[in-house]
Structure 1
Amino acid sequence: MAKRAKMMTPDPVSPIGEAAMPRAASGDAGITLSERLPSSFVQVQAWPDTVAKAAKVIDKLAGEGVTIMATGPGRWLIESDETGLEDSLRKALKTDAAAVTGLTHARVVITASGLKVDWVLASGIALDFANMEPGDVALTAHHGIPLTIRRLPDVADRKAYDLTVFSSYARDFWGWLERAGEEVGLAVA
């Protein structure tokens, strides 16, 4: 069997660019945005007869610095603060158990938080944000831009969400968030 070539992974570069540079709101910030480039971001898709095996391997990853999001039957998005997640999963899940796809350079995570975050997000995303509990995940879209939204725990009585977007759409989506947030006051952290 041919060896799989190692892909070079360059240092991450923000697809949002200078727009994501920290700045204070003029007045009170109803929403605060920040950009995060994941160290490791992987999708795992188990075959119908190997879901339990894949789930067992994935459950062992749970812990500090690892976020596991179930996004469909036998499908997970997994984010880690450490590099090497894709290689670890490929070793643990042979191709007969699941497909492992590295998405580290293909996704950007935008964290949106604040007292008005639900209102801003609901102005362009058809989702019931008021009823999302911390840990809930939703796959949705904004004007054709696919999104994975994860509700985070509240911080200082402010709701927060991680909005995972394809890198190629990140700048456009960020621009919409800025325009939508201007009405309630926008800060970038």
Structure 2
Amino acid sequence: MPDTSEIMLPRVSPLRDVAVQGRFGASRGVPGVSFSVRHPLSIVTVIARAGQGAATGAALKPYAAQWAGPDQYFVLAEGRGEGALYRELKAALAGIASVSDQSHGRVVIRICGPKARAVLAKGTPVDLHPDHFPVGKSAMTQMAHVGVHLTRIGEDSYDLSVFRGFSESFWEWITEQAEEFGYQVT
């Protein structure tokens, strides 16, 4: 029997037929927000083992790690080969943390623009004011009954990570919330 441990399925975005490029919603002026799907993207969940939180945090400093709970992180990378980030983190964190590849199981939607915070405020109780939610901060929340990992990545930019199976209904909901401001899909 052939070794199938390294066989990975190609990443196909579940939003490839839904996130259609163009301008939608209110047509006056420039769009208030823009949406894009970050794809393909390597995503690995890291959970520190008991008593290893500080060591795990230190080991993740060279990576784009986002808080996902006490001693838990999402590590994201673009332009990596299939399973490469997972294998690298598994080796780097051996004995101090557990890792799980989420690249096929999660979808990251980026929302940017002057009305991004207003759109997100329609669905989350997280205080998104810059004094309370600075660039780099993450939160686990719910929007439209969907679990969302929310990260502020810039002045008016946020990444929303959702489970793949909920991504299409979440996309429909979030774009509907943006209609009053007008939105662009890139």
What are the within-5 Å matches in structure 2 for residues 123-142 of structure 1? 123-131=122-130, 132-142=133-143
Partner of 1:78: 75
* 1:70–1:175 Cα change, 3 Å: same
* 1:40 equivalent in structure 2: 42
| Equivalent position SS for 2:60 | helix
Contact 1:38-1:80 at 8 Å conserved across structures = no
In the alignment, structure 2 segments of 5+ residues that lack a partner are: none
Partner amino acid for 1:87?
A: R
C-alpha deviation, 1:86, in angstroms: 0.4
**Shift of residue 85 of structure 1?**
0.8
Q: Return the offset for 1:37.
A: 2.2
C-alpha contact (below 8 Å) 1:33/1:187 kept by paired residues? yes
In structure 2, C-alpha distance between the alignment counterparts of 1:169 and 1:118, rounded to whole Å:
22
CA distance in structure 2 between the aligned counterparts of 1:117 and 1:80, rounded to whole angstroms: 23
CA RMSD of aligned residues (A): 1.7
Aligned pairs for 1:1-189 within 5 A:
6-25=5-24, 26-27=27-28, 28-59=30-61, 61-62=62-63, 67-81=64-78, 82-83=80-81, 84-94=84-94, 96-131=95-130, 132-154=133-155, 159-189=156-186
Identity of aligned residues (%): 28
**Greater Cα shift, 128-137 or 49-58:** 49-58
- Maintained 8 Å contact 2:111/2:158: yes
Cα deviation for residue 19 of structure 1 reads: 2.1
Ranges of 4+ aligned residues in structure 1 off by more than 4 Å: none
CA positional deviation for 1:111: 0.5
Q: CA deviation at 1:144?
A: 2.5
Normalised to the residue count of structure 1, the TM-score between the two structures is: 0.86
Distance 2:110 2:98 in 1: 28
Between the two proteins, the alignment pairs up a number of residues equal to: 176
- Shift, 1:38, TM fit: 4.1
Asked if 2 retains the 8 angstrom alpha-carbon contact of 1:105 and 1:167, the reply is yes
TM superposition score normalised by structure 2: 0.87
Runs of 5+ unmatched residues, structure 1:
none
